Amino acid sequence: PALTYAMIIGGHGMGWLPVYPTYPTTVRALSTSASSFKNYWEYEGTFHTRFFGGTTGKYQTDITTLEEGIRNANLKMEYILFDNCYMSQIEVAYELRNVTDYMIASPTEIMAYGMPYSIIGEYLLGKPDYEAVCNGFYSFYSTYYEAPYGTLAVTDCSELTSTASLMREINSLYTFDTAQLDSLQRMDGYDPPIFYDYGDYVAHLCKDEELLMQFEYRLNRTVPYKTHTKEFYSKSKGAIPINVYSGITTSDPSINSRVINDKTKTSWYKATH
């Protein structure tokens, strides 16, 4: 056995969302429910974002299943790096908090090139240098000739229990006004959005300045390293400006039919509501 273990996962990513049924195109065309949902990889005539792995339910895996598999193997990863879209999510990180020390992931779609391992690979070996990983990622994507778009963040999973406790306190005091949805920093191209910047969401939710300062302190400890270009890229909407960035997203305020019911079933939601 090794002294430490780490895991790199490459493929499609949809954050915490559960495996979805496969619907024929004819059904999608006739339906306005969740079955008509169009995934980012189904858009054509655009720059390619990360495209590898299953596009149907048969070849997809829930985050809960990933957590269960690692736990049942009696392993704890030093880090899990997701070379996928949409995986820097508070719901994902909380689900994996007991099976990895750190999570490295993008809160948005990631370009098809994926992680620039020739630059960041050396910082993932031995004692990981997470700040250098973020800096290397930015140096590559900020000058990427085809599509200079990229976001990355590192989550310290040991902080998540405290973050959840504080979030539960905030939720006990305040209810989000959905009239503010258009004011939130979207981190995807879906309509309505599924993934919102977590820090921006709480800044709109919490009206107590002192409590919000506590949250911001906690969030900076939870996501100690992060980077982004001025815009991120979505296959459905193209380049979208990043005005607020905490490095991690949430689906808590989303009213998208794809998630409106399932989001209440996540471990994060149950711990914070």
Give residue 40's pLDDT band: very low, low, confident or very high (50, 70, 90): low
Per-residue confidence (pLDDT) for residue 52, from 0 to 100: 42
Encode pLDDT of 102-153 as tens digits.
999 999 999 989 999 999 999 999 999 999 999 999 999 999 988 999 999 9
Per-residue confidence (pLDDT) for residue 181, from 0 to 100: 97
Give residue 39's pLDDT band: very low, low, confident or very high (50, 70, 90): low
Encode pLDDT of 157-171 as tens digits.
999 999 999 999 999
Per-residue confidence (pLDDT) for residue 49, from 0 to 100: 63
Give residue 25's pLDDT band: very low, low, confident or very high (50, 70, 90): very low
Mean residue pLDDT of the chain comes to 89
Q: How far is CA 118 from the centre of its chain?
A: 24
Encode pLDDT of 145-159 as tens digits.
889 999 999 999 999
Per-residue confidence (pLDDT) for residue 15, from 0 to 100: 85
Per-residue confidence (pLDDT) for residue 51, from 0 to 100: 46
Mean pLDDT calculated for residue range 29-46: 50
Nearest to 256 by CA among 72, 66, 36, 19: 36
Is the pLDDT confidence value at 89 over 80? yes
Q: Where are the domains of the chain?
A: 7-272
Is the pLDDT confidence value at 32 over 70? no
